């Protein structure tokens, strides 16, 4: 029986979140933690869809049954399958589509984009559609618009291509580095809250617009400094990069998008000798990223586990969406 397994990495924002919305740069990179989509040929007719992480499985008699009865929280999946059925005339019958992910959900790690890229990549291989990566990224962006409304395009780009990007005002460029970066990614046990974070910043802008603009400008300067350090040296000063991450975190704290859980994690990270530690993404929850030597990150992981926080050590993914298995 035919079977395809595709995967796509999650992502972190290294520097520049929130300021990027106001025209300043951000640096994002893919991480070696992924979401997967498996498509299997089945004996029985119809379409089966299994969301392993949510313990939800559905069995539809045909695509029309799926259109009518797939829950609305999976609208992006419905949209893509309808789109591909109409555009490529694929036979969505006798297939089981299974989704799995070890990315923390609702945490700013790009889990929805990773699922989108993995699904599109799997369909592309299973039905021999010959889509290029730029087309996969475009379809994933269309799915992200259903989930997030007005996404920046960072997540679908990173999850499709992997590596690291410098992003500013809608333009991307890849940052090529020959060395490894190790991070500890820690879940704060609180879902990130995009709307609340944006509202916090808007409230600050109303009270002191000049100070907020100065803060964004400082975040932009830090982001450019780190880019220069990353590309100018074959052996960059990670301690210096970490110090700039800490400055970025202090500025995000001023913008009121940090919280006590984030502070507990970042303070412990620096106490045990990490180079730098900061929130990644929207803030007010989500995840914290910590840069440091692997032995320091391993020690920190244990200490954070004792405090009730789950973490994983990850490095930069350089492949993006890919086929892991086919037969």
The CATH architecture to which 182-315 belongs is 2-Layer Sandwich (3.30)
Please give the CATH number for the structural domain made up of 3-176.
3.30.230.10
Total number of residues shown for the chain: 327
Give tens-digit pLDDT for 11-46: 999 999 999 989 999 999 999 999 999 999 999 899
Q: 200: closest CA among 146, 254, 274?
A: 254
Domain residue spans of the chain: 3-176, 182-315
Give tens-digit pLDDT for 97-143: 999 999 988 888 999 999 999 999 999 999 999 999 999 999 999 99
If residue 175 lies in a helix (H) or strand (E), which one and from where to where? strand 171-175
pTM of the model: 0.92
Quick one: pLDDT at residue 289? 98
Dmax of the chain from CA atoms? 65
Rounded to an integer, the average pLDDT of 313-322 is 96
SS3 80: helix
């Amino acid at each position: 029986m035919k079977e395809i397994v595709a995967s796509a990495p999650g992502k972190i924002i290294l520097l520049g979140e929130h300021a990027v919305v106001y025209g300043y740069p951000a640096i994002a990179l893919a991480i070696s933690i992924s979401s997967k989509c498996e498509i299997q040929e089945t004996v029985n007719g119809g379409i089966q869809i299994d969301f392993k992480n949510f313990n939800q499985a559905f069995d539809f008699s045909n695509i029309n049954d799926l259109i009518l009865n797939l829950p609305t929280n999976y609208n992006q999946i419905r949209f893509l399958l309808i789109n591909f059925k109409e555009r490529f005339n694929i036979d969505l019958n006798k297939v089981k589509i299974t989704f799995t992910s070890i990315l923390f959900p609702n945490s700013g790690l790009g889990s929805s984009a990773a699922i989108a890229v993995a699904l599109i990549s799997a369909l592309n291989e299973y039905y021999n559609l010959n889509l290029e990566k730029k087309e996969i990224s475009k379809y994933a962006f269309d799915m992200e618009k259903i989930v997030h409304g007005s996404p920046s395009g960072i997540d679908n780009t990173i999850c499709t291509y992997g590596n690291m990007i410098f992003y500013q005002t809608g333009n991307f460029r890849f940052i090529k580095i020959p060395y490894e970066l190790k991070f500890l990614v820690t879940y704060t046990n609180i879902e990130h809250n995009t709307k609340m974070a944006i509202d916090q910043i808007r409230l600050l802008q109303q009270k002191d617009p000049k100070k907020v603009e100065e803060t964004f400008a400082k975040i932009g300067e830090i982001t450019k400094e780190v880019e220069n350090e990353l590309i100018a040296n074959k052996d960059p000063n990670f301690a210096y990069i970490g110090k700039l991450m800490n400055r970025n975190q202090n500025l995000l704290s001023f913008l009121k998008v940090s919280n006590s859980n984030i502070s507990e994690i970042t303070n412990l990270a620096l106490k045990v000798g990490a180079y730098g530690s900061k929130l990644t993404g929207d803030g007010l929850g989500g995840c914290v990223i910590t840069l440091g030597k692997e032995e320091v990150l391993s020690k920190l992981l244990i200490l954070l586990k004792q405090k009730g926080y789950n973490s994983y050590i990850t490095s930069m993914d350089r492949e993006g969406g890919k086929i892991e298995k086919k037969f």
